[in-house]
Structure 1
Amino acid sequence: MSGVSTTTAQDMAKVTVATGFWTKARKVGLGLLVAGVLAAIIFGSLATEQSARFTLSEDSGGAALEIGGTLGAILFGIIAAAAGAALLAGLDQRWFLWALGVGIVGLVLSFLCWQISDAPPGQNFMPMVNMVRGTFLLALPLIFGALAGVLCERSGVVNVAIEGQLLMGAFAGALIGTMSGSVWIGLIAAALGGAFISLLLAVFSIRYLVDQVVVGVVLNLFAIGLTGFLYERLMQTNQQEYNQPPHFGTWEIPLLSDIPVIGPALFRGNIFLYLALILVVVLQVALFRTRWGLRTRSVGEHPTAADTLGIRVLGLRYRNVLLAGMVAGIGGASYTLLLYSFTKNMIGGKGFIALAALIFGRWSPTGALLAALFFGFADQLGAYLGAINSIIPSQFLAMLPYLATILAVAGLVGRVRAPAADGKPYIKG
């Protein structure tokens, strides 16, 4: 046993020498340690003795988790610093993501204890049900868009056209849904609208080998121009006939909807929420546990080798890109068949945020879901702080997910690598 331990220690020493002391985990740990200490000092000094209440309902009534503002800001800052210190001390790599998660949550809670305790009397609470519900609602188009990106880029096709797919889906859902008077027909039309943009992407990038980033940008502009023109010619002149789509209602799941916080937020939801969660599970299993998933990943990593094994590389790419367009089109319909009527360029850049979520989520369905929820939470937090008249401009909070994405792409939170053949055209020999 001692011989084994000695060998292991020697191996670890060799790894340390080869990689240097400042591994990525230790760099992240140092950052968390410094941020946690600063949070405890700054947020702790700015917070008041008024309690910060996290209510388990939709208002200030009912059960709540309560802590003094100053105490909470200092305590959660220390927790974040402790997580950073553990990483800096060389915590096992298996626990890296857990320590990182604890550190980030600690920083967020330290910040919230300051903000909530500093709110005017009667507003020193955060309704957790509304926060969770708002996070998922704002993340819905991002989840669908990021899943569309996963389908394309795992197949070797860069999908910069997510914005156009979402927009065309929103437009088709509103137009056809209004004309037919059926939300279900509108939903099908939205899927076909997104698939139309994807078909153009597939033809130009796969058949004619046009640069995939360039064609994606052009298709976004095409979707903005086409939907804007038709909006002005049809919808704006006759809103009642062309732009009054029916909306899906709320679907409540018995028993599950009674679970505190999560129940009212998730299980009194809409069809788009349930579809998004189901799609994440289905695509995660399909990509990593089925023959289709193996073939898709092989086409995205090494199409020449896949071709020699009899896989129809181009055909599989066509099918997956079209499927991605349908998924994104349904995401676009979450605007017009759930809450709003159609307006010009109503997606407002969400497709590019979905692309960032795809990268931040490391090209996996579950990662894309978590990244999209991170973006959605930042948006919802900005809205909440605006409601309590925070001194922090919401624009600064909106920057945080993008900063995290930059750090992820730079490799500071682990290796982030796109599929090897992503964006590279394949010419069958």
Structure 2
Amino acid sequence: MAISIQLGAILAALLIINIYFMSAKKYELIFSICIILLTFVSKEENGIISGVPYDTGGVINPSIVGYDVLIILILSLALRHGKIKSLGVFWRRAVICTWLTITIRFVIDGFGVLSNKVFDSYLMPMAYALLMIRYLDKEKAIKVVKVLYVCVLINAAVGGCEYFLGRSLLFHEYYMKAVGWYPNTYLAQKYGVSFRCTAFLGHPLTNGMYYLMGVVYLFNNEKKWNLFKIVQFAVLGFAIFATNSRGALLILSIYILFYLISNKKALKLCFLAGMGVVITTRINLQEIYNNIFARDATGSSMMVRVKVLLNFFDIPIQNVIMGMGYNNAGTIFSKYTGGANAEISYIILLMENGIAGFISWFVALSSIYNNKMCRMFNGIKYSGLVHGMLICFLMYAATSNSFADPGTLTYLLCFILALSRIGKVDTFKENLIYGNGMESKEANSRLPV
């Protein structure tokens, strides 16, 4: 395990802070700290604190947010706050299926299963979601969501600046020495490829995911569109552009269209459609694509996904059933698809865990999800927020290796799922309020937490 003096000092500080806030029952502050660590200490910066780069093989080196969740979990158990009887059947199902996923891999791979991925993609994110459900109500959860949005907005502003600067604003020297993908991203500018923003979140694809979440929050905030809100959208939109991620731009467009349709903004939708027709008839779309995505003018990056889908059924069935483990899936992809990374999160997870492990993990995640959420709470379209974030996340994951690679994006997925469970409402009262036309914020905010 990678331990340094800096890491020890930070963990000691987190222990003291969490003890204080838990004693004071300031649970929203506990999880706000988690969000701050999640959005400002990426896996790439993890090495600065622990002294060992995150992706170093053979070293257990979880993220800082992972350590923080572990501290909260230990304190919760020590204070006997986690009584299973009071947490519901979904809690037990989520825990059992998570352990089943890891156990299957342990039986097949032995102690080789122990890695950053086990902690940061499976165990700690699930603990994070269950702790949120245990300690937060809707009011506190909305406060944590607002903290997430502010953190994302700050990252977006930094990312936008980096697009013009052409380098990481804060971590350039460290990234050049210790982060494998960064030198290529930086040096590609010599060939006319714009720099892809990193901000505090690290990899551009990770940035794209968080910026999409920021847009969803902005669109589901009841505050009227004014200059300040438009500026925020411009910052987030430009930051998504600065990631140079086709998937993020595509999903941003789909979400905006879906939002306009679902909210009956017919006039705005017709205007946008008309503008789209005028623009597309007067410009060379291929030329624009090549200019924006100069890093992939040949389409080779897109072909990686296509080859994986076309050749997936050539992979031996025993590899699909048993899984290749968290360190060996790349070899099978190289042999049958020509690339070491499938660039599609779900296929990577399937090949790593095998069919049984893959199913048990998604059963664990779906156990948390609850679709009966309040429609409006404290000025936020709660159901629209959670469903928008979840759909954007799952769609984006199908275009990249976003949460399949070792990293911290699974915390974000579990955060969204936990919000759905926290935001559940009594079906009778929900029908009473909306069935009688009483769609007021005040009435909805009185629903029991």
Give the TM-score category using the shorter length. under 0.3
TM-score of the aligned structures, taking structure 1 as reference length: 0.26
TM-score by length of 2: 0.25
The structure whose Rg is larger is 1
